[in-house]
Chains A and B, each alone.
Chain A
């Protein structure tokens, strides 16, 4: 008896210790980013362009604009593609093509993000130059598999009964899918999209040789654009202390944005 209780206690303590070991670095990252980044967050930081290297002041408005453009473009490309694929996987009869698509999708999900960048580089940048569009394409290569997975799962959560009820009313299959099944799965699909936005808005590697970066505001999607993670990368490895502070600031902005998205997903969309 005593031996068993001892074992039980030991396991509990071990679990708590593991949790602490994992939580400490996580909290440390958040705290460090907060402490180092908070001082940079002035109105100027959000509204002005960067100053030339070595000069104090300026902001990261171009990177914020760039990230907004990249995320919007990526979603424009990947949401329709992923949704149609997920519908095919979930709403049409089993087939070998379906198994193949699932296998490809799972393989893509495990692809290193830099590979997506190289892919977009050879396909688009070598012909049309660096651009926001090439960056969004690279990000889409990462976003589509993630979304296909979450969307397929969201659709499968809709009970068969609901589909059959629709069909038994004499409604055509595609109508049942678009007007009844999709509508029922919408909260889960939306949360999948938002979590993907959170994931890709921090991606750096695919943007290095696609979006490239831009010290000014971009005026079109066929021009190079900056992005927060790109800016963090460049500023963090620079020799200027002011740029280091700005990299911390940008990290904090990115972290808060991702946290906000996660909170929205958690509390607004998953309540049903």
Chain B
């Protein structure tokens, strides 16, 4: 298996700080193309910081500092224009955050519109296609001009996924995408994640062990800023190598 999948993202010796607080300590891991990698761990363990380093959002904070190497298809993201990096690595956030003043249509089309796409037909096509991939099209096709915020929480989150898909990224990061949703909406998002990996490389942050088990191919367990264990989800879950991982998986810590 490992031979077929190629490394999409390689992280080497990654360290990250907020002021004097070190949030990530010497992280090394590789994310395989067209797989789902779950970043698992309790609150405050550095999971979100880790994926925010990948698309260079971390460095926007004035007290943020970052060291180490992140390679996207073999090229360092720190040598690329951050805008370019973020076009290749999309992101979906913890709370659904559609742009409040925009229609459903504009929420999906805005990324392309602001990057200069004017062709109405092309935009229509991308909006429809993205909403279909986000499993939202059938629910919203008759009300594309309604505000994005008029949708339910779960629908808003799928709208945000459609928005991320529309700019045609290669990798999509999910920062605890279901933690603000009801269980039924959460299941829909999980199903969607599995569908997405055919076309995208997916990284999902979660503190939910069952969720990581259901959706991910690989799992990275973080604890207090360190990567404790990384491997195929089935292997890590059945046979954790580290004491700490086992303790977390069995609910003794967390």
- Interface: A266 (CB within 8 A): no
Enumerate chain B residues within 8 angstroms of A165, measured Cβ to Cβ.
91, 93, 97, 99, 160, 163
Q: Assess A167 versus B114: contact at CB under 8 Å? Given A161-B93, A161-B95.
A: no
Q: Which of B60, B84, B97, B99 contacts A170 (CB 8 A)?
A: B84
Do A170 and B100 touch (CB < 8 A)? Answer: no
Using Cβ atoms and an 8 Å threshold, which residues of chain A touch B62?
Answer: 93-94
Q: Total A-B pairs in contact (CB under 8 Å)?
A: 65
Residues in B neighbouring A164, C-beta threshold 8 A: 57, 60, 91, 93
Which residue among A166, A170, A172 has the maximum number of chain B CB atoms within 10 Å of its CB? A170
Task: Give the chain B neighbours of A93 by CB distance below 8 A.
Answer: 62
| Neighbour of B100 across the interface among A94, A171, A184, CB < 8 A | A184
Provide the residues of chain B in CB contact with A166, threshold 8 Å: 99
Q: Is A159 an interface position by the 8 A CB rule?
A: yes
Q: Which residue in B90, B100, B102 is a CB contact (below 8 Å) of A169?
A: B90
CB distance from B15 to the nearest CB of A (A): 22
Q: What's the interface size class on A, roughly?
A: 20 to 34
Closest to A181 in B: B99
**Central interface residue in B60, B95, B114, by most chain A CB within 10 Å:** B114
Q: A168-B86, A168-B91, A169-B110 are in contact. Are A180 and B99 (CB under 8 A)?
A: yes
- Residue contact A162 to B97, C-beta cutoff 8 Å: yes
**Complex CA distance for A183 and B55, rounded to whole angstroms:** 25
A39 within 8 A of B: no
Of all chain A residues, the one with the shortest Cβ separation from B89 is: A168
Interchain CB contact under 8 A, A169 and B86: yes
> Contact mask B92-108 → A, CB, 8 Å, 1/0?
01010101111000000
Task: Known pairs A169-B90, A170-B83, A180-B99; list 8 more (Cβ under 8 Å).
Answer: A161-B93, A162-B99, A162-B100, A169-B163, A170-B84, A170-B86, A171-B114, A172-B83
Interface residues of B (CB under 8 A from A): 55, 57, 60, 62, 83-88, 90-91, 93, 95, 97, 99-102, 110-111, 114-115, 160, 163-164, 167
